[in-house]
Amino acid sequence: MKYEKLAKDIIKNIGGKENVNSLTHCITRLRFKLKDESKANTEILKDMDGIVTVVKSGGQYQVVIGNHVPDVYDEVAAIGGFSESSSESSEEKVNPFNKFIDIISGVFTPTLGVLAATGMIKGFNALFIAVGLFGKESGTYQILNIIGDCLFYFFPIFLGYTAAKKFKLNEFIGMAIGASLVYPTLAGLTALPAEPLYTLFAGTIIESPVYITFLGIPVILMSYASSVIPIILATFIGAKIEKGFKKIIPDVVKIFIVPFCTLLVTIPLTFIVIGPIATWAGKLLGAGTISIFSLSPILAGVFLGGFWQVFVIFGLHWGLVPVAMNNFAVFGSDPILASALGASFAQTGVVLAILIKTKNKKLKSLAVPAVISGIFGVTEPAIYGITLPRKKPFILSCVAGAVGGGITAIFGTKTLMMGGLGIFAIPSYIGSAGFDTAFYGAIIAIVVSFVLGFLLMFFGGFKDEETKEENKQNVLVKQETIISPLKGEVKSLSEVNDEAFSKGALGKGIAIEPTEGKIIAPVDGVLTTLFPTGHALGITSENGVEILIHIGMDTVKLEGKYFTPKATQGDRIKAGQVLLEFDIKSIQAEGYSLTTPVVITNSGNYLDIIETDKKTIDFKEDLLTVMI
């Protein structure tokens, strides 16, 4: 329930759940398809704590959340009743380019996490071989290689599922089409007979031997393992075929006759027509990409490295994902992702320079997580929270990224497998040759991009931002600081000898072992509750934060003895005002613990309650930060 309030606010400000056609998410963004984007309150969403920014691109309304987007997505989907297969009927016409980006995003996004994970395993396996940890003949290598290669080899099956969801085909039909493309017997058919019946397009890039026929029709056998274009096209056609059969087949037998007819038509059609055409298209696409790098590899690298973050902003990088995946399938490597390798590190270097130079507390608080996530390749917090709004830092990061792209081109660096992001991408550049020149090119590109981005920003005339008074007021509304009402030793609530507090039943917070017998007001607000016994106080801040201060354990039994109130229930109070005094020695002499919990009783209304990391604390020092 941590993100319940944020989720409700998001749904409210995108025009309500009735304005949503569909919802998906990627690493950092909620990706809505709205029926009417004009109903969304974009500026309100941008100003919310918990939201980095809002981007409208590729026919999608993208709410950038950050690394915790899966948790927010779950909450939004649960409250709104959304699913990734929500209706997409909308009167709005989407231009072909946006439609293409939307399809690519919908097909590839669900696989990226596992794809990156298996790529990392494959990369680390290559690293272990390179450093001599074990040999290629060892069982350890073989099993790790299976784990790292399984998803990519059987990729058509996974894409058959995601593409089927996108094109509204029965997902299991989509998977069956994908499975047929990687069926083990398929590869063996090329050996029967030893010589092909004949060869089509001999001497060209699409030269295709014919070994078998289907009902007398020649079948061009291709290797579809790891391929991406054939299954996407086959699933698209399969969806049209299924839709046609649904119209003519009686309801009583639809459940099995529709899949029967769809598979019987789509799979042979895929082998005879769709697969070869898609494979040829993939080869031409790959050859075209490689030829661009062949004509001017440095220029291509500089362009992609410099503009990659721009592509990310508009979602245009999705258009390059299938090209890169196709290059892996056709050539076993890809220069596109290699050219963009330094871009995230350039962005991170720029933000690190800002973090070091700025004295603005809010900017520092944004920069710290942006640097951390940037190291791991997630740059949206840096882009939308820091560099893009200030323009110059973003431009400098693009310059540094361009230099990194040029370096990978000079060294002939190519990505050898789909791997992780940021530093986890490094193993993706270790091939069978181990640490070769291309690998060192990747490392140099990372280091130079990061250092150059840092230096350009650090010495590039950075102008710090002064905190304006009105901005302070905004911060108070979005992030309220609770000062310490006591002086003493700070403890975790889990150390309190009372389960109501230690298990968080009464709310999140912290505990203090007092060394001075007085309580001061931790906020401006109202003293809403003062127990007659004086052992507990309830305070409500001007922003609605409800604070309970409970002095000691079981001290209610003292019936007010040793407690002296200095304010009355219902009083308006100011932060720092003395509310109550108590006699520490006398209470302890009676055998009572004075461990005092300070909890936010309406914690569920807020994004988070952040505790101080101090071991001891004085009056008026920051104790808790409430993320509103």
| CA-based nearest residue to 277, from 229, 331, 327, 330 | 229
Tell me which of 26, 150, 261, 398 is the catalytic residue. Answer: 26
Domains and CATH numbers, the chain: 4-94 (3.30.1360.60), 154-292 (no CATH), 296-458 (no CATH), 479-627 (2.70.70.10)
pLDDT of res. 618: 94
| CA-based nearest residue to 272, from 218, 196, 193 | 218
Pairing mode, strands 622-627 and 479-483: antiparallel
pLDDT of res. 286: 60
- Confidence label for 11 from pLDDT (cuts 50, 70 and 90): very high
**Tens-place pLDDT, residues 273-310:** 887 887 677 667 667 767 778 788 899 899 889 988 87
> 503: how many CB neighbours lie within 10 A of its CB?
11
User: Is residue 26 among the annotated active site residues?
Assistant: yes
| CA-based nearest residue to 308, from 282, 350, 334, 347 | 347
Residue 228 CA to residue 617 CA, distance in Å, equals 59
- Residue 64 carries which side chain, given as an amino acid letter? V
> 3-class DSSP state for residue 514?
strand
Q: Two tokens at 236?
A: 């698209």
DSSP string, 472-520: HHHHHHHEEEEE-SS-EEEE-GGGSS-HHHHTTTT-EEEEEEESSSEEE
pLDDT of res. 461: 63
> 3-class DSSP state for residue 14?
coil
| CA-based nearest residue to 245, from 155, 381, 253, 339 | 253
DSSP string, 587-605: HHHTT----EEEEETTGGG
Q: What is the mean pLDDT of the chain?
A: 83
Residue 254 CA to residue 219 CA, distance in Å, equals 30
482, pLDDT greater than 80: yes
On whether the pTM is more than 0.85, the answer is no
pLDDT of res. 130: 73
Report which secondary-structure segment, H or E, holds 150: helix 139-153
Give the list of residues 6+ apart from residue 368 with CB closer than 8 angstroms, or none: 355
More confident residue, 453 or 317: 453
pLDDT of res. 354: 92
Q: Two tokens at 107?
A: 């097909």
Report which secondary-structure segment, H or E, holds 584: helix 584-589
**Tens-place pLDDT, residues 45-75:** 888 888 877 877 767 888 888 767 778 888 8
Cα angle 282, 288, 289 (rounded to 5 degrees) comes to: 90
pLDDT of res. 518: 95
> 552: how many CB neighbours lie within 10 A of its CB?
23
- Confidence label for 613 from pLDDT (cuts 50, 70 and 90): confident
